[in-house]
A and B are shown apart, each in its own frame.
Chain A
């Protein structure tokens, strides 16, 4: 008797479930936890569900430190997300692991992707296929403290535009006590922050070099250009004494505390700097003597999970199209502060005139994107390279050569696998 009731209940439940699936598709969207990103995505999901009442999107988040491991573990367990966020630098691993599938050119025409997004979207292309689309992109700029500029007798509305001007401004704004100890930095030096990107994609190119070969398999910075770029950064501390690695623990901490006149950082820092108790400004990364500028851009893209099939795949494609639309990008810019990945949405007059977003957007037009194979390990190579010069007094030339060798080994191990 009891079992009959149970069976009836089970049948009812199954039929209810079946009914449910006939009416609505549920897809899962995964990203890592970051307050504003989660908020923005919740807004986007709400709008998407309004427009597509037959689709529900389940928003799943994980702490950043676990994120990649979770995605991989879910794939092993056969329960991956339908739409998943990934850093562009993880693409090779995600593709090799079969975690995501290429975008269907019938739904996402590749020529349109190439004409409508900023060129850095090409970092999502492997072979002939695109594997994901970014909602927002990040670039670098020079942040400067207007108050410290004014105190040093500089015009707070004329931030440095060239590397020489940058150096002059740093010399003017650095402060030392009677013992010769730095009490306020002219410019922060933090290879572990964004300086390694500045060195790799900006300074090396401004000195006439190129960090990697076109196929990305060879390190090509072990030359005069790489050396000049490295020396520009280390000389800030060893020769000009306008900055000091480790001052105030971190570059961004020094700037927030009002103890650094300038720092190079990305769009993602805007939220943290918003509450700075002083007036600050943003300007494009300084040009070299010939007026050549460069920038480093990076982004998180959204891709379609390998396990999405049938109507879930269709729903996932619809959702991906929506979160890569100009409307979604504007919401992302307003909530998160990251720049739209489509030119049309980014380069509006309003955005370009914005004193904060403007310089970052201009940087996107000439930005480069490093194809990392192991971001942490490659960053570590750059950190160690600078530390050998700054802490052990090694000749920059030797340190550079060692770094090139170490990084080449990382690339070789990846590409020879």
Chain B
């Protein structure tokens, strides 16, 4: 029975198919191919996202069935001093991390672009940290920051007769110490992108400028930076999202007291992780996720708007 039906169906569909115009067929084909990623995204991305919004209004704890509690999770979140500290930390990572890493990587890319001697090797050296597992790298840096006798940085400070610094064991120094690691880790990628952008600027512009007698500084300001803008926009958005979602470095450098000391390094993602997977407070964690989602969305939109093409 099934076989007969199977033979019949291509015939009918072929009849129907022939009636379509080429244009319609093309559209059907296109949607046919597009359907796969769309179904994938709906199932793997959009559905859980919508689910997270719903969960954020419940008190689900994995074990008991969820009950709707309205805006209670958000009320709790906004009245939680920890949330505001985590919020400040997250924005410190963003507001200091993004510009510092972009300026550094631009300077390095700008000069590296002119270096011919061992160019590939130096570029590879800068790119290497980007290839390294974040966890492994974080642990190496964690040991760098230790007090004497094992911390390399403090050993060097000692050598010059300087007082040793607490680094990760200080509420003021821990966040910059971790940020330095994160910046260093992302530097290689940004340098490569910047160099690609620099290479894409036609040489004729520079030649023309030099013939007109423009100085290096003027060339940088009037030609290089404006023409590099698409690259810069991409990197600003990309690196901002990276800093807003920072987790690996913080978690691995502070595993004994995650996000510590005294929550001074805790980013939003780590707070979500702990709420969800050590306190099993899924509803509350979902509310935090929704807030993070909103922040990411707003920050990205603002950046795209500020750095939009003025035509």
Chain A interface (Cβ < 8 Å from any Cβ of B): 65, 68-69, 72, 93, 96-99, 177, 179, 181-183, 190, 192-193, 244-250, 259, 374, 376-377, 380, 383-384, 387-388, 391-392
Residues of B within 8 A of A72 (CB): 62-63, 280
Residues of B near A250 (CB, < 8 A) are: 256
Min CB distance, B296 to chain A, in Å? 25
Closest A residue to B59 by CB, please name it.
A417
Selecting from B127-135, B168-176, B203-211, the interface stretch reads B168-176
Contact across chains for A96 and B64 when beta carbons are under 8 A apart: yes
Question: Please, which residues of chain B bring their CB within 8 A of the CB of A387?
Answer: 171, 257, 260-262
Least Cβ distance of A282 to chain B in Å? 23
Q: Is the interface of B mostly helix, strand, loop or mixed?
A: loop
Q: Across the interface, name the chain A residue whose C-beta is closest to B63.
A: A97
CA distance A392 to B261 in the complex (A): 10
Tell me whether B274 is interfacial, beta carbon within 8 Å.
yes
Which B residues are in CB contact (< 8 Å) with A384? 260, 262-263
**Which residues does chain A contribute within 8 Å of B169, judged by CB atoms?**
245-246, 391
Q: In the complex, how many angstroms separate the beta carbon of B253 from the nearest chain A beta carbon?
A: 10
Q: Contact between A249 and B64 (Cβ–Cβ < 8 Å)?
A: no
Residues in B244-270 with C-beta less than 8 Å from chain A:
256-257, 260-263
The reply on B143 being an interface residue by CB < 8 A is yes
- A177-B148, A246-B168, A392-B171 as given contacts; A69 in contact with B279, CB under 8 Å: no
Q: Of A182, A249, A388, which contacts B142 at CB under 8 A?
A: A249
Chain A residue at minimal CB-CB distance from B154? A181
Known: A96-B63, A250-B256. A391 touches B261 (CB 8 A): yes
B242 at interface (Cβ–Cβ under 8 A)?
no
Q: Mask for B139-158, Cβ within 8 A of A = 1, else 0?
A: 00011001111100000001
Q: In the complex, A104→B142 CA distance in Å? A: 51
Closest 7 A/B residue pairs (Cβ): A97-B63, A246-B169, A192-B256, A376-B278, A387-B261, A72-B62, A181-B148
Which residues of B lie under 8 Å from residue A182 when comparing CB positions? Answer: 147-148
For the complex with contacts A246-B168, A259-B149, 4 further pairs of A-B residues with Cβ separation under 8 Å are A68-B280, A246-B169, A383-B257, A387-B257
**What residues of A have a CB within 8 angstroms of the CB of B146 in the complex?**
246, 248-249
Q: Which residues of A contact B256 (CB under 8 A)?
A: 190, 192-193, 249-250
What residues of chain A lie closer than 8 Å to B279, measured between beta carbons?
374, 376-377
**A414 to B142 alpha-carbon distance, docked (Å):** 35
A-B contact pairs, 5 of them (CB 8 A): A98-B63, A245-B169, A259-B149, A377-B279, A387-B261
Q: Which residues of the partner chain B approach A99 to less than 8 Å between Cβ atoms?
A: 63
Q: Which of B164, B263, B280 contacts A93 (CB 8 A)?
A: B280
Chain A residues whose C-beta falls within 8 Å of the C-beta of B150 in the assembled complex: 248-249
Known contacts: A244-B147, A376-B278. The answer to whether A392 contacts B63 by CB under 8 A is no
In the complex where A93-B280, A392-B262 touch, is A380 in contact with B257 (Cβ < 8 A)? yes
Q: A177: which B residues are within 8 A, CB to CB? A: 148
Is B277 an interface position by the 8 A CB rule? Answer: yes
A71 → B minimal CB distance (Å): 10
Q: How far is the CA of A192 from the CA of B255 in the complex (A)?
A: 10
Q: B63 and A93: CB pair below 8 A?
A: yes
Give CA–CA (A55, B13) in the complex, Å. 57
**Contact present for A181 and B158 (CB under 8 Å):** yes
A97-B64 contact, Cβ under 8 Å, with A245-B169, A391-B169: yes
Do A383 and B260 have beta carbons less than 8 Å apart? yes
